């Protein structure tokens, strides 16, 4: 998952939160508190870096408000330019606007995602409608849009150079999609809707974070059956940190829940932990999200209705690779039957083992991971915990660097502690350079561990993106995970799935570092394409070069046995029914919610009835149940776009076969050059479908995806 900087999201892409107000008169100068560290220029090495070590919640409100005022002053300069609109004085000026706000938003993003607190959440709630008003003065600014339209219209007669034309087209389209052509009355309502939505998104997100922080399961020493020593040590440390010395804490995050459900022999406790996790935002209390979701859906539909669209999905997908909801649904519906059929087979295998053990149970959702692991051991003689002993976070980090070196010619060098400020002692920083020339490319920040105030999951973000329109900038990018921090002196051991996610998020970082675009707008992503590059990088985890060098036992240092590697590869399609179905269920619900009539919608009932219509297996849940589906309801980045992971996976599977068949395999030099040139460096400077055709020589085919997952290929695609 990607989190982007404010400028990429709000200014260059032209924001979704828009409102309409009379243009206020602004002073020629705006007072700026130079004592506020968040408003100060980034100083130090590497073209300047954020002063994370000095940031304070107390400073964020003033800094954000000042940043917005300065940004709007930039917009005023554009709209009041007496010269006729040109690419330089309108589009380039817009690209260059809001620099101070962009810098401040870097701190805001850290305080929101990595270091949240009740004090910050209060400020966040206060700022949400103000950000909406700010956005309105850009995306609903009539004089600004008329200048953009003039440049756009002129370019249709006399096309600009390719990258400039792409910026103009994207800018005009996004203004248009966000109501720039509406009349005054509709613009006013559009603004009101977005102001309401901005507050609802913040409330939704904070409700989920509340439930993640407050539902902790504490165990005693008699309830640890099946759990590994490293997991027990970590759980003990977390409990001690929470003031429960002598107990063992299972936190309400995936990184804690998943291994507990996989290995714990305590079925009642598995049920408790499962219920805590999948009930986030759905506990019928002050932090329940069901009514918030219903209101979000109504407002989204009303807003796109002002623009003449029948539903939110139709509006949202017009500039995505899928183009229409029907195309996205067609892909999901082609895969769904094979996925649930595989679940039926997996459950039968698990039930057989439970029966043979005399467990006297029927498989329930809190049993799936536990018995799936037993099936894995029986079918493939593969023990996930045995594999985990060879998956050390430090070694996996080295594997990331090795992969980046082979494919991108990058070198990662640790930055001396204290040279670059960080916001928490867990954060480490590396300098990224070209291996041959030594050219500096950027800095990579890694924040690997879960903690109080950090949202769950894994994501990548940028603090500064590469552009060259005002001189070359370096890249400041980060990866953020939620691994359980080990007891002192112990290695951080992760599951194969977590290692895959680690590679995935690093793929986003490499996408940032390899950017070779001139203008900020061209760094914006197409949602059903931008996950492709990161999903593709996952494939290098299972290459022989990575396995043979970096998967070593955390105690003995011995390399992973060849026999165990063979078992891993043979089991590569194991449990694909679970993985595909839990994901697709969420993607289908996302789309169907936005295609439905939201009038008087009952979210819990809709989820339940829709899953029943889909014949969703009773033995597993959606990956993200609706009340905590932050991808979709804490903002709009993935709304009606969660299908995009599968759309991207079609590209991934197809591209992987190209590497597999190359003379040098996954490290083939010619393929690596094409990978960087066509799939990573262009970002959004060309149409994604055309970029893929340049790489592959044709469009991607769904058959590769079906083969990849071990599913039968549908007759219609043969």
pLDDT tens-digit map of 429-479? 999 999 999 999 999 999 999 999 999 889 999 999 999 999 999 999 999
pLDDT tens-digit map of 32-67? 787 999 999 999 999 999 999 999 999 999 999 999
pLDDT tens-digit map of 147-199? 999 999 999 999 999 999 999 999 999 999 999 999 999 999 999 999 999 99
Q: What pLDDT is attached to residue 527? A: 83
* Residue 335: strand, helix, or coil: helix
Check: CB of residue 97 under 8 Å from CB of residue 135: no
Beta bridge partners of 43: 49
pLDDT tens-digit map of 331-366? 999 999 999 999 999 999 999 999 999 999 999 999
pTM equals: 0.88
Q: CA 307: distance to chain centroid?
A: 28
Q: What pLDDT is attached to residue 33? A: 80
Q: Which of 486, 511, 496 is nearest to 547 (CA)?
A: 496
Phi, psi for 433 (deg, rounded to 5)? -135, 165
What integer is the mean pLDDT of 600-624?
Answer: 97
Q: How confident is the model at residue 713 (pLDDT cuts 50, 70, 90)?
A: confident
Mean pLDDT of the chain: 93
Q: How confident is the model at residue 20 (pLDDT cuts 50, 70, 90)?
A: very low
Q: What is the rounded CA–CA span in Å between residue 368 and residue 354?
A: 11
The CATH architecture to which 2-209 belongs is Orthogonal Bundle (1.10)
Q: What is the DSSP letter of 560?
A: P
What integer is the mean pLDDT of 315-332?
Answer: 95
Which pairing describes strands 459-464 and 410-414: parallel, antiparallel, or unpaired?
unpaired
Q: What pLDDT is attached to residue 9? A: 39
What integer is the mean pLDDT of 362-380?
Answer: 96
Q: What pLDDT is attached to residue 540? A: 98
* Residue 336: strand, helix, or coil: helix
Asked whether residue 690 carries a pLDDT value surpassing 90, the answer given is yes
> What is the share, in percent, of the chain residues with pLDDT greater than 90?
90
Location of each CATH 1.10.1370.40 domain in the chain: 2-209
Q: What is the DSSP letter of 231?
A: H
Query: What tokens were used for 51?
Result: 């002063």
Q: What pLDDT is attached to residue 637? A: 86
Check: CB of residue 81 under 8 Å from CB of residue 89: yes
Asked whether residue 6 carries a pLDDT value surpassing 80, the answer given is no
Residue written as tokens 């951080």? 492
Q: What pLDDT is attached to residue 7? A: 42
Q: Which of 2, 11, 197 is nearest to 97 (CA)?
A: 11
């Amino acid at each position: 998952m990607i989190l982007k900087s404010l400028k990429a999201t709000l200014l260059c892409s032209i924001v979704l939160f828009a409102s309409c107000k009379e243009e206020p008169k602004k002073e020629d100068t705006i007072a700026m508190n130079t004592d506020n560290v968040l408003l100060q220029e980034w100083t130090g090495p590497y073209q300047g870096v954020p002063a994370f070590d000095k940031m304070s919640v107390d400073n964020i409100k003033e800094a954000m408000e000042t940043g917005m005022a300065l940004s709007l002053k930039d917009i005023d300069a554009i709209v009041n330019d007496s010269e006729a609109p040109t690419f330089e004085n309108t589009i380039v000026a817009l690209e260059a606007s809001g620099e101070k706000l962009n810098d401040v938003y870097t701190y805001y993003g850290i305080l929101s995602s990595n270091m949240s607190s009740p004090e910050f959440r209060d400020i966040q709630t206060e700022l949400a409608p103000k950000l909406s008003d700010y956005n309105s003065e850009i995306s609903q600014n009539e004089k600004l849009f008329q200048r953009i339209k003039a440049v756009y219209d002129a370019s249709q007669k006399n096309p600009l150079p390719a990258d400039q034309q792409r910026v103009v087209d994207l800018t005009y389209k996004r203004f248009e999609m966000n109501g720039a052509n509406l009349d005054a009355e509709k613009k006013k309502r559009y603004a009101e809707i977005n102001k309401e939505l901005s507050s609802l998104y913040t409330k939704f997100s904070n409700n989920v974070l509340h439930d993640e922080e407050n539902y902790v399961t504490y165990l005693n020493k008699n309830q640890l059956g099946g759990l590994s020593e490293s997991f027990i040590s970590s759980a003990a440390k977390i409990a001690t940190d929470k003031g429960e010395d002598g107990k063992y804490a299972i936190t309400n995050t995936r990184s804690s829940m998943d291994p507990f459900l996989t290995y714990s022999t305590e079925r009642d406790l598995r049920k408790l932990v499962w219920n805590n996790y999948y009930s986030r935002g759905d506990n019928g209390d002050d932090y329940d999200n069901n009514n918030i979701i219903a209101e979000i859906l109504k407002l989204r539909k009303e807003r796109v209705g002002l623009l003449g669209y029948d539903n939110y999905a139709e509006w949202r997908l017009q500039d995505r690779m899928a183009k229409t909801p029907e195309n996205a649904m067609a892909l999901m519906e082609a895969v769904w039957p094979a996925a649930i059929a595989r679940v039926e087979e997996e459950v039968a295998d698990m039930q057989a083992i439970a029966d043979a053990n005399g467990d006297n149970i029927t498989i329930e959702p809190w049993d799936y991971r536990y018995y799936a692991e037993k099936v894995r051991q029986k079918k493939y003689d593969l023990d996930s915990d045995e594999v985990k002993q060879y998956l050390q976070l430090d070694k996996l980090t080295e594997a990331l660097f090795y992969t980046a070196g082979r494919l991108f010619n990058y070198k990662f060098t640790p930055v001396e502690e204290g040279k670059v400020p960080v916001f928490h002692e867990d954060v480490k920083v590396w300098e990224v350079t070209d291996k041959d020339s030594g050219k500096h490319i950027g800095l990579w920040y890694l924040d690997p561990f879960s903690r109080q105030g950090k949202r769950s999951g894994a994501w990548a973000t940028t603090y500064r993106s590469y552009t060259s329109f005002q001189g070359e900038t370096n890249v400041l990018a980060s990866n953020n995970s939620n691994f359980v921090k080990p007891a002192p002196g112990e290695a951080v051991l992760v599951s194969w799935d977590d290692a895959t996610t680690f590679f995935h998020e690093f793929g986003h970082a490499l996408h940032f570092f390899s950017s070779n675009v001139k203008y900020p707008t061209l760094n914006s992503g197409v949602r059903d394409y931008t996950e492709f590059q990161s999903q593709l990088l996952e494939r290098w985890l299972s290459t022989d070069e990575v396995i043979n060098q970096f998967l070593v036992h955390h105690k003995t240092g011995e390399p992973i046995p060849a026999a165990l590697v063979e078992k891993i590869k043979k089991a590569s399609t194991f449990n694909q029914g679970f993985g595909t179905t839990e994901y697709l269920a969420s993607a289908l619900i996302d789309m169907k919610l936005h295609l439905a009539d939201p009038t008087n919608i009952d979210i819990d009932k809709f989820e339940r009835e829709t899953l029943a219509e889909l014949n969703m297996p009773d033995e597993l849940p959606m990956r993200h149940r609706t009340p905590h589906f932050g991808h979709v309801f804490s903002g709009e980045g993935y709304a009606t776009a969660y299908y995009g992971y599968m759309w991207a996976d079609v590209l991934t599977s197809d591209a992987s076969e190209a590497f597999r068949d190359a003379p040098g395999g996954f490290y083939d030099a010619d393929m690596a050059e094409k990978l960087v040139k066509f799939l990573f460096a262009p970002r959004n400077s060309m149409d994604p479908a055309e970029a893929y055709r340049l790489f592959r020589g044709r469009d991607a085919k769904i058959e590769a995806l079906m083969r990849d997952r071990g599913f039968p290929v549908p007759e219609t695609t043969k």
